[in-house]
Amino acid sequence: MNENQINNEEISSKLSCHKCNSLNYCTIGRPNKKIGNCPMIINSEIQKEAKALYDADDFIKISTAVASIVEAKGYIHWPRLKDTIEYAKGMGYQKLGLAFCIGLRKEAEKIAEILEKYGFEIFSVCCKTGGIKKTEVGVPKEYTMNSITGYVIGWITCNPVAQALLLNKYKTDMNVIIGLCVGHDITFTHLSKAPVTTLIAKERFAPHNPASVLFSHYGQAFFNLDLEKMKKEIQ
């Protein structure tokens, strides 16, 4: 058995909070005893470990308090950008890094302008910095220049590594992701020394609103077709 496989015992106890009506349970401070795998019951030692960290780790303590104060102060009234501003202020951050996608340069410009008005020092880095060819970082040639769906995507790679290293060099206090691709955002977060928040999650299907596919007819139609295609491919 390799490390990615889990045995039957683990499968029956794997985490599945999405199947629980948590509003009746942990949201009001109690575990769900009706299902067999509530982590408040079967992983009580981890709950204790987590609780202890809220006391022992100063970053966690302050960040948790600041995030909750922002939530309480601006609930429903504030856009996420204002939440981000207030969180950064609450944490005492001055220097903010913007790791942005070339497709959202205008948005990055506007965000920088607003953040500067709030008194932050801004350091921004475009995803194409470095100008490295995709083929030089291992991308097969057929996946460069034009997408399989027929759009021009170019031959220069996104460079989340340089984005993170540059912002590390300038010692930003917090970095903000503006539309980095799935995967590039992970690489960026993996290397960033400063804490990272996502202001805009890239969504090419429905402009930067990944949640829009979940309950729309179009999203449902897409996944029905895609899953059907996948089933045919493995038959």
Residue that the structure tokens 């993996």 belong to = 190
Compute the least distance from the CB of residue 13 to ligand SF4, in Å: 11
Q: Pull the structure tokens for residue 213.
A: 């596919």
Looking at beta carbons only, is 30 or 73 nearer to ligand SF4?
30
- State CA 134 to chain mean position distance: 24
Compute the least distance from the CB of residue 57 to ligand SF4, in Å: 22
Compute the least distance from the CB of residue 22 to ligand SF4, in Å: 3
Calpha distance 99→192 (Å, rounded): 10
Calpha distance 190→201 (Å, rounded): 17
- Positive/negative CA dihedral, 138, 142, 147, 148: negative
Looking at beta carbons only, is 20 or 91 nearer to ligand SF4?
20
Looking at beta carbons only, is 22 or 216 nearer to ligand SF4?
22
Compute the least distance from the CB of residue 213 to ligand SF4, in Å: 24
Looking at beta carbons only, is 50 or 53 nearer to ligand SF4?
50
Looking at beta carbons only, is 31 or 130 nearer to ligand SF4?
31
**Residue closest to 131 by CA, chosen among 162, 177, 104:** 162
Angle separating helix axes 58-74 and 44-56, nearest 10 degrees? 90
Compute the least distance from the CB of residue 169 to ligand SF4, in Å: 41
What's 78's DSSP letter?
Answer: S
Calpha distance 148→201 (Å, rounded): 22
Q: Pull the structure tokens for residue 167.
A: 């912002």
Rule CB under 6 A: which residues touch ligand SF4? 17, 20, 22, 25-26, 31-32, 38-40
Compute the least distance from the CB of residue 32 to ligand SF4, in Å: 4
Looking at beta carbons only, is 29 or 140 nearer to ligand SF4?
29
Calpha distance 70→58 (Å, rounded): 18
